[in-house]
Amino acid sequence: MSNPIEEGLRVIQSKPEGVLQSELWKILDVDSRKCSRIVKKLLDTGLIERTEFKKDGIKTYILKAKKRPLDPNQILAGEELIPCIGCEEECIVVECHRLMDWMYQLAIIEAEE
């Protein structure tokens, strides 16, 4: 494992419903003490939140990412950025011609791949 803190964050981010801290150390293949240090660093940097949780009568924590990584493919069609970013027009999404044109472009690119 290259960087256990980055790997821990990646695991937590991959589970929108959260991951139990008691499971995270098993996933990362580290002992519970090292996992606690990883979680503390992620908490201190504000990247995750921790909520107390009881599982089978044993106290543990649910860990959830505060910020999810953005998939650039969700805002790009080819090299064209989604038109909603920076748009100041008030519109109804299903009637926005700029957005619809962008979505058609995205569909064309995906069909070509």
Tracing tokens 């989604």 back to the chain, one arrives at: 82
Q: Which domains does the chain have, with CATH numbers?
A: 4-65 (1.10.10.10), 72-112 (no CATH)
pLDDT category at 19 given cuts 50, 70, 90 is very high
For residues 11 and 27, the answer to whether their CB atoms sit within 8 Å is: yes
pLDDT category at 1 given cuts 50, 70, 90 is very low
Taking the whole predicted model, whether its pTM rises above 0.85 is answered as: no
Cα(98)–Cα(24) distance, integer angstroms: 43
Predicted pLDDT at 74: 65
Q: 21, exposed or middle or buried, with CB in 10 Å at 0-12, 13-18, 19+? A: buried
- What's the whole-number average pLDDT of the chain? 85
22 bridge partner residues: none
